[in-house]
A and B are shown apart, each in its own frame.
Chain A
């Protein structure tokens, strides 16, 4: 693994009223690695992603990206730094075409979003990368459909296409396979395998086969705390983890 972490999280905490969803989490993500976060329902995985993406502000703790503490920067500023997140529950612009959604992701990266005059929808500088991202996830055929009208599996693929089109340095993927059919899930695993090595990923996922196939490192989140962290084999062997989370599934 590379020497310096791309992302270092220190003692991160977030409570909602009485519930401490993330409770003193510290972890590192190294450049180029796939770092999986697993844990039971309600463990705080989505909250962790939202804290990293900047949608939520932590009550305490630091998020170091390179040397900078970005824990208090807003979501859009972090996206500009190279963060891209996908949502566990699909979040797209339903009234626009599938292609438009991805073009927006390209536009966000492109930084010239204050063009007032030239038509955007036939601008090759936006269309070409958008179509490439759609092809990569296998969505090119529905590019012209309204994003609100495509199937659940296609929504999930669109989520990934949008995160890819942003050309991020760090992908924060929140259960990309959630609610997918076995077939779609296989395809998505293939896409992520493709990206492995090319992009740094923090991957939240429930499907253990996917996790063990992709992850270079696994952190187990239970009740908002990191219960174990390490190489997949070590985590698989960890007694505490087996009891707390993996159960019989890993045996």
Chain B
């Protein structure tokens, strides 16, 4: 059931933007572009959080790294899109590898705190670099340039982001069903038994952590292109919290969970922020309800599970 809803959601996302343009509502294309990028980021987080049980509170750092991998070259008038993407993925992977190697030696709340601390380090590093705008951020005057596709066109940009979402979903789908995926799932469920069986699962976790970071870097690059603007705010710790929120709201175990979570998150944000400046309050209540009564999130509810 959650699969069906997931596919329907993807079909809607594939069809909606041209309709919005035809209806004279380009604003909706913007919302959907943002949704698609954040859904891809949340899906990458779900690889480690949902499937691996690694509660990273610093995942937004990779959105930032990916976005700056577009913004900084653009600042030097280097617009080659492939180079941007390569930088985004490589820098994210390296940062994940280096910080994960340390963080994965800890457990529970220490892991949460240390991943957050590493992300804050990037945040403050970027704030302190005046050259790239510091606190104020940096405007990207020209988007990443690719042969044949022109990201300055909002519809093209949207479908490029959508392709990144599809790729991320497919990759995570393959990974969690593979041998590697079985090992990280087993280690989430029972470390002691996995060690007794002979798994040195630290390495599997580090690989998963690195892959998740690299994937998120990619969605960050797309998000940077979309906003035409990068700032440290993109990797603020509250952003990491929002990604966790999307994953938990949508359902940690399910492939389409983060996508559903991101969709509901952005929908509520749009509706509630129009109403009241205290729009984050209902979010908190919603999260409490999900955690108390629907551990499997929206996807779990669709499966008739309550977790």
Contacts and interface: CB of A to CB of B under 8 A. Distances in A.
Whether A associates with B in a native complex is: yes
Given A108-B197, A113-B199, A166-B198, A93 B180 contact: no
B107 interface: no
B175 interface: yes
Nearest to A162: B197
Interface string B190-212: 10111111111100100100000
A78 B199 CA distance: 10
B178 A104 contact: no
Nearest to B173: A119
Contacts of B192: 55, 91
A95 B189 contact: yes
Contacts of B179: 107, 112-116, 118, 120, 123, 126
B199 A108 contact: yes
A5 B199 CA distance: 27
A53 B194 CA distance: 13
Nearest to B211: A116
A180 interface: no
B201 to A, nearest CB: 8
A76 interface: yes
Contact of B175 (A84, A104, A116, A166): A116
Contacts of B195: 55, 74-76, 79
Contact of B183 (A87, A104, A166): A104
B185 interface: yes
B189 A107 contact: no
A162 to B, nearest CB: 7
Interface residues of A, number: 39
A113 B183 contact: yes
Given A119-B177, A120-B181, A105 B197 contact: yes
Contact of A53 (B174, B182, B196): B196
Contacts of B188: 95
A114 B22 CA distance: 48
Contacts of A119: 174, 177-178
B186 interface: yes
Contact of A92 (B174, B180, B190, B201): B190
Nearest to A81: B198
B189 A79 contact: no
A222 B183 CA distance: 39
B204 to A, nearest CB: 7
A107 to B, nearest CB: 6
A137 to B, nearest CB: 16
A162 B193 CA distance: 10
Contacts of B200: 74, 76-77
A12 B179 CA distance: 37
B174 A104 contact: no
Contacts of A100: 182, 186
Interface string B144-186: 0000000000000000000000000000001101111111011
Contacts of A55: 192, 195-196
B186 A115 contact: no
B96 to A, nearest CB: 16
A91 B207 CA distance: 25
Contacts of B178: 115-120
List 6 tightest A-B contacts by C-beta distance, closest first: A79-B198, A93-B189, A115-B179, A108-B198, A108-B197, A75-B195
Interface of A: 53, 55, 74-80, 84-85, 87, 91-96, 100, 103-105, 107-109, 112-121, 123, 126, 162, 166
Given A78-B198, A104-B186, A115-B180, 9 more contacts: A77-B198, A94-B189, A96-B189, A107-B179, A108-B199, A114-B207, A120-B178, A121-B177, A162-B193
